[in-house]
Amino acid sequence: MMNTKDPWSVPVTVAQIPDTGLHREFEADRAEREAMAEVAGLRDILLASASLDLMLKRGGRVHVTGRVRARIGQTCVVTLDPIENDIDEDIDLMFAPPEQISQLADLVEEAAESDTEIPDPPEPIVNGVIDLGRLATDALFLAVDPYPRKPGAVFEPHVQAADAEDHPFAALKALRSDSKPLGSRKRRNTPDGGKDG
């Protein structure tokens, strides 16, 4: 049974990465693509592939670089027609053992307080494993356009001709026309014998 939380799983054990690094190319099969499409709320994922390089760094860290490519099926938010979009995302992430995460996060905070460039905090290596499929899935999902449009599609709001009798004050106008005109009201006498007004 496929894990719906991580439908595309390609685990790599850090201890098995050679000193010279590791190159992995992989493609999601039909069941993985269907599960990813369901999780992401997409009409379809027609293809999804990744090409990643893993390099060991000092302190048990691993630098992962590469690309994720996909073709996804979506629905145009303007015309509601089915459309297909291509995704081509770069990946450049550092992974570190869990015990280093808090130390490295502190370094990121210190860099944020200074004028130096702020590095991204590393991702944790979980139980000695980096899941490249999950990494590729995350990159793919982040690249999805939430408001896809068919080329040339433009939203044009439906405009109705204004009805002269259809406005917020129409009810007040109707009340006024039912009553006597303002000038025809009698003036009443005030207690001092004069007319009010």
CB atoms within 10 A of CB 7: 22
Q: Give 133: exposed, middle or buried? Use CB within 10 Å, 0-12, 13-18, 19+.
A: buried
Q: Which domain, by its residues, includes 82? A: 11-143
User: Would 167 be classed as within a structural domain?
Assistant: no
Nearest of 45, 84, 95 to residue 68 by alpha carbon: 45
Residue 158 lies in a domain: no
Judge whether 197 lies within some domain: no
Instruction: Give the model confidence (pLDDT) of 41-83 as tens digits.
Output: 999 999 999 999 999 999 899 999 999 999 999 999 888 899 9
> Which pLDDT value is given to residue 150?
86
Q: Is residue 58 part of a domain?
A: yes
Instruction: Give a yes or no: residue 16 inside a domain.
Output: yes
Distances (CA, A) of 149 to 36, 44, 75, 81, 85: 21, 16, 8, 9, 10
Quick check: 109 pLDDT over 70? no
For 54, list phi and psi in degrees, rounded to 5: -115, 125
Each residue of 141-178: pLDDT tens digit? Answer: 999 999 988 887 777 776 665 666 666 666 676 676 65
In this prediction, residue 6 carries a pLDDT of: 83
Q: How confident is the model at residue 134 (pLDDT cuts 50, 70, 90)?
A: very high
Count: domains in the chain: 1
Identify the band that residue 14 occupies on the pLDDT scale cut at 50, 70 and 90. Answer: very high
User: Other CB atoms closer than 10 Å to residue 64's CB: what's the count?
Assistant: 20
Strand pairing category for 82-96 and 62-75: antiparallel
In a domain, 176, yes or no: no
Cα–Cα distance measured from residue 32 to residue 167, given in angstroms and rounded to the nearest whole number: 54
CB atoms within 10 A of CB 127: 9
Residue 66 belongs to a domain = yes
Q: Under a CB-based contact definition with an 8 Å cutoff, are residues 48 and 25 in contact?
A: no
In a domain, 178, yes or no: no
